[in-house]
């Protein structure tokens, strides 16, 4: 049966209980980190590395959507968050590999550079953890 659009949050399956609450907190921190980094770089250095800076902005949007989906709860939000976590992991692996193989292509680092080295590898750990949690909540 499809999820009712007007269902109250208490009626939806909670995705933020237990470890899900930690995921929401970490994704929230990553939203702030990626958004502030990209906003600063867009306003001061965009001409030096448009691809890298744009990728940081995309990462911020992905993190924000996953955070929203986790907080919203319900099956539709769970599926959307799972899809975004998979896309995030693909992005981290592609960009991470690209920055290792061709570092000259990224004169400025992105959130996902070197698999998230500048963010303590949280960008590569977080989507895996998120996908495991979301699969468990199915």
Q: What is the DSSP letter of 43?
A: H
Residue 49 maps to a domain: yes
Pair 30, 63: CB distance under 8 Å: yes
Residue 97 maps to a domain: yes
Report pLDDT digits (tens) over 11-31: 456 677 778 889 999 999 999
For tokens 């976590």, the residue is 85
Residue 9 maps to a domain: no
The CA dihedral of 52, 57, 60, 62, to the nearest 10 degrees, is: -90
Query: Whole domain around residue 81: which residue ranges?
Result: 15-136
Residue 3 maps to a domain: no
Q: What is the pTM of this model?
A: 0.84
Per the structure, the count of domains in the chain is 1
Report pLDDT digits (tens) over 32-75: 999 999 999 999 999 998 998 999 999 999 999 999 999 998 89
Residue 4 maps to a domain: no
Whether residue 4 has pLDDT greater than 60: no
Residue 61 maps to a domain: yes
Q: Which residue did the predictor score with more confidence, 113 or 12?
A: 113
- How large is the average pLDDT for residues 98-106? 93
Q: Which residue did the predictor score with more confidence, 4 or 55?
A: 55
């Amino acid at each position: 049966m499809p999820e009712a659009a007007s269902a109250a949050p208490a009626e939806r399956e909670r995705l933020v209980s237990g470890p899900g609450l930690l995921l929401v907190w970490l994704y929230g921190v990553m939203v702030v980190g990626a958004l502030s980094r990209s906003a600063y770089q867009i306003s001061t250095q965009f001409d030096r590395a448009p691809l890298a800076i744009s990728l940081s902005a995309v990462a911020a949007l992905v993190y924000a959507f996953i955070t929203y989906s986790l907080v919203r709860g319900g099956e539709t939000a769970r599926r959307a968050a799972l899809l975004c976590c998979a896309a995030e992991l693909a992005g981290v692996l592609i960009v991470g590999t690209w920055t290792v193989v061709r570092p000259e292509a990224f004169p400025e680092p992105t959130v996902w550079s070197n698999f998230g080295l500048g963010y303590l590898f949280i960008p590569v750990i977080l989507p895996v953890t998120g996908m495991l949690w979301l699969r468990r909540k199915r």
